[in-house]
Amino acid sequence: MAIFFSYKTKAISSRISKKNNIKKWIIHIIEKEFKKSLGNINFYFTDDSEILEINKKYLNHNYFTDIITFSYCTENSISGDIVISVDTVKFNAQYYKVTFENELQRVIIHGVLHLLGFDDTTEQQRVEMGEKENWALQIFYTKWN
């Protein structure tokens, strides 16, 4: 199975670096750390206007977000569609005073963690999700950065 990246525009495509390393990292997290198999994961990088429309259409939410995850997982196979707003990632990177690349990697693994069964609706879940993101990012920085 595979991980795919697609983009609303070529301009967005050029902003995403280290694609092969990101794919290796995701596979490592899914297969080595969580002992699950990789199905197909589709990342779609878009802008705020399109993610707002997706949020309204599929989730009945009328607000911008950095990521929307659609899970098609089975018990042991991790598959899904992950939609990421590059505009919001850029805004959040500035807000949190981190690089765009760092914030994008955090958002990417956030979506993967959702596919692995983690949620972030309660405060306790948000704390746990943040800890898992930091753990996964440390693996990336150690092995593939």
Interval 74-130: pLDDT, tens? 999 999 999 999 999 999 999 999 999 999 999 999 999 999 999 999 999 999 999
* Cβ(45)–Cβ(37) below 8 Å: no
The fold adopted by the segment(s) 3-143 is Collagenase (Catalytic Domain) (3.40.390)
Sorted by where each begins, the domain ranges of the chain are 3-143
**29 band by pLDDT with thresholds 50, 70 and 90:** very high
* Burial letters 38-57, b for 16+ CB under 10 A, else e: bbebbbbbbebeebbebbee
Q: Is the pLDDT of residue 41 over 80?
A: yes
Question: Which one is predicted more confidently, 120 or 1?
Answer: 120
Distance CA 72, CA 41 (A): 9
**pLDDT of amino acid 88:** 96
pLDDT score of 18 more than 90: no
Task: Check residue 48 and give its pLDDT.
Answer: 95
How far is residue 132's CA from residue 145's CA, in Å, rounded to a whole number?
A: 18
Q: What are phi and psi of 90, to 5 degrees?
A: -60, -45
pTM of the model: 0.95
